[in-house]
Structure 1
Amino acid sequence: MIEIKTPAYRRASFALALGSFIVFCNLYMFQPMLPLMAKTFSASAIEINWLLAACTLTLALTLVPWAIGSEMIGHRKVMILSLFLLPFTGIAMLLADSLLTLTLTRAVMGISLAGFIAVAVAYMAEEFTPTALILAIGGYISANSLGGIFGRLYGGFITEYWGWELAVIGMAIFSLFGALLVNRLLPEQQNFIPTKGQFRVHSRHVIGHLKERKLWLAMMIGGLNFSLFVNLYTVMGFRLVAPPYSLSISLTSMIFLCYLTGTITAKLSGRWSQIYSPISGIVLGTTISAIGMWVAAYDSLPAMLMGLLLISSGAFFTHSLAYAWVSQKASVAKATATALYLVHYYVGGSLGGFYLIACWQYGTWHGVLTGGMVLYSLIYLLCWQLHRSTFSPLKTNKQSKI
Structure 2
Amino acid sequence: MTIGVAAAGTASFALLYAPQPVLAQLAADYGLQPGGASLAVGVATGALALAVLPMALLAGFVGRRRLIVVSICVSVAIGLLLPLAPSYSVLLAMRALQGAAIAGLAGIGAALLADRLGRAGVAAAVGAMIAGNTLGGMLGRLLSGLSVDSLGWRGALAVVAGFSLICVVVTIIALPAAPAADAAVEPHGRRPSVWAGMRAAMRHPELGVQYAVAFLAMGAFVALYNVVGFRLTGAPFDLSPGLASLVFLTYALGAVSSAVTGVLTRRAGRRRVLIGALFVTAAGTALTVPDALPLVVAGFGVLTIGFFAAHAVANGWTAAAASREARGQASGLYTTCYYLGSSLGGTAGSVVFGVAGWSWLVGAVMLWLILAAVMAGWWGRSRPAAGTEPVTIRVNAL
The interval holding the TM-score normalised by the smaller chain is: 0.7 to 0.9
The aligned counterpart of 1:38 is 27
* Residues 379/152 of structure 1: CA separation in 2 closer, same or farther (3 Å cut): same
Alignment of 1:84-103 (within 5 A): 84-103=73-92
The aligned counterpart of 1:319 is 311
**AA at the equivalent of 2:32:** A
CA offsets, 1:250-295, max 9 Å, x none?
1111110111111211222244345442333222221211110111
Q: Offset at 1:77?
A: 3.4
* 1:58 equivalent in alignment to 2:58: no
2 CA distance for matches of 1:350 and 1:278? 27
8 Å CA contact 1:96, 1:102 repeated in 2:
yes
2 CA distance for matches of 1:15 and 1:332? 29
Instruction: Tell me the TM-score normalised to structure 1 length.
Output: 0.85
Alignment of 1:8-157 (within 5 A): 12=2, 14-124=3-113, 139-157=128-146
CA offsets, 1:299-335, max 9 Å, x none?
1100000000001111111112222332344312644
2 CA distance for matches of 1:161 and 1:277? 49
* 1:195 equivalent in alignment to 2:191: no
SS in 1 for 2:210: helix
Alignment counterpart, residue 347 of structure 1, candidates 326, 340, 349:
340
Q: Offset at 1:41?
A: 0.8
CA offsets, 1:201-245, max 9 Å, x none?
544433331112222221211111111112112222211111121
8 Å CA contact 1:146, 1:263 repeated in 2:
no
The aligned counterpart of 1:8 is none
Once the two structures are overlaid, the 10-residue window that deviates more, 351-360 or 340-349, is 351-360
CA offsets, 1:158-212, max 9 Å, x none?
2221133333333333323322323443467899785255666544433331112
**AA at the equivalent of 2:186:** T
The aligned counterpart of 1:5 is none
Gaps of 5+ in 2: 387-398
8 Å CA contact 1:134, 1:270 repeated in 2:
no
The aligned counterpart of 1:400 is none
SS in 1 for 2:86: coil
Alignment counterpart, residue 306 of structure 1, candidates 295, 298, 302:
298
8 Å CA contact 2:83, 2:155 repeated in 1:
no
Gaps of 5+ in 1: 1-10, 394-402
**AA at the equivalent of 1:391:** P
2 CA distance for matches of 1:360 and 1:169? 28
The aligned counterpart of 2:214 is 222
The aligned counterpart of 1:289 is 281
8 Å CA contact 1:224, 1:379 repeated in 2:
yes
8 Å CA contact 1:51, 1:103 repeated in 2:
yes
Q: Offset at 1:364?
A: 2.1
SS in 1 for 2:384: helix
The aligned counterpart of 2:236 is 244
Once the two structures are overlaid, the 10-residue window that deviates more, 202-211 or 42-51, is 202-211
The aligned counterpart of 2:255 is 263
Q: Offset at 1:51?
A: 0.7
Alignment counterpart, residue 371 of structure 1, candidates 356, 364, 369:
364
**AA at the equivalent of 2:50:** L
Once the two structures are overlaid, the 10-residue window that deviates more, 174-183 or 302-311, is 174-183
The aligned counterpart of 1:234 is 226
1 CA distance for matches of 2:274 and 2:177? 34
RMSD: 2.8
2 CA distance for matches of 1:354 and 1:143? 26
* Residues 94/237 of structure 1: CA separation in 2 closer, same or farther (3 Å cut): closer
SS in 2 for 1:391: coil
The aligned counterpart of 2:390 is none
Once the two structures are overlaid, the 10-residue window that deviates more, 26-35 or 271-280, is 271-280
2 CA distance for matches of 1:171 and 1:369? 30
CA offsets, 1:339-382, max 9 Å, x none?
21111011111111232223323332321232122101111122
1 CA distance for matches of 2:327 and 2:208? 14
CA offsets, 1:130-153, max 9 Å, x none?
786666555544433322211111
* Residues 387/125 of structure 1: CA separation in 2 closer, same or farther (3 Å cut): farther
2 CA distance for matches of 1:279 and 1:120? 28
1 CA distance for matches of 2:319 and 2:176? 20
1 CA distance for matches of 2:172 and 2:106? 16
Q: Offset at 1:94?
A: 3.8
8 Å CA contact 1:18, 1:143 repeated in 2:
yes
8 Å CA contact 2:216, 2:341 repeated in 1:
yes
Alignment of 1:173-188 (within 5 A): 173-186=162-175
Aligned length: 382
8 Å CA contact 2:76, 2:164 repeated in 1:
yes
Once the two structures are overlaid, the 10-residue window that deviates more, 287-296 or 79-88, is 79-88
**AA at the equivalent of 2:376:** C
2 CA distance for matches of 1:387 and 1:333? 21
**AA at the equivalent of 2:166:** F
